[in-house]
Amino acid sequence: MTASEDVSKRREFVRQFSVMMPNRVGAFSSLSNLLSRREIDVIGLSVQDSRDATVARLIVNDPDSAEELFMEQGIAYTLSELLVVKMKECGDLKKCLNKLYEAETNLDYAFSLIVQHQGHALLALFLEDCEFGASVLNRAGLTVVYEDELLR
């Protein structure tokens, strides 16, 4: 197998949008309604607020359309990759965190998704290196869920 074949077979990690919004009543509701009008569903959400601004981290079921919408509407955002792990058993969270710790990889933040995959909870992880993290977790017997498995 050549290097170009290797790259073409790479599965895409889940894309996350980070959107900075004013910290005021209805700001996230307005963003949610805007997405909904384009039939884009939020399937993962983490909100971090401060006195003046809020950062909403979103995973959506149609990231290409969401990106197009944000560009059309002049909504500032950043995109990043997340590692999403299927939690089949209660002990999987502990196992996941311990394996990442043993591998000495940084976990910046994590949040659960609103949707399930094949009846199991999903945990989104922002790691310094998704490829490395996926390798570590796969070797530990945990299942990584890629973007194509979550999209419509």
**Segment 88-100, tens digit of pLDDT:** 988 899 999 999 9
| 8 A C-beta contact, residue 16 and residue 124 | yes
**Domain edge (last residue) among 80, 105, 121:** 80
Domain boundary among the residues 80, 95, 113 is at 80
Q: Could you tell me the residue range of the domain that residue 126 belongs to? A: 81-150
In a domain, residue 74? The reply is yes
Residue that is last in its domain, among 80, 98, 123? 80
Residue 6 belongs to a domain: no
CATH of the domain at 30: 3.30.2130.10
Q: At 9, is the pLDDT very low, low, confident or very high (cuts 50, 70, 90)? A: low
Asked, for residue 7, whether it belongs to a domain, the answer is no
Q: Are residues 134 and 86 in the same domain?
A: yes
Number of domains into which the chain is organized: 2
Residue 3 lies in a domain: no
| pTM of the entire predicted model | 0.85
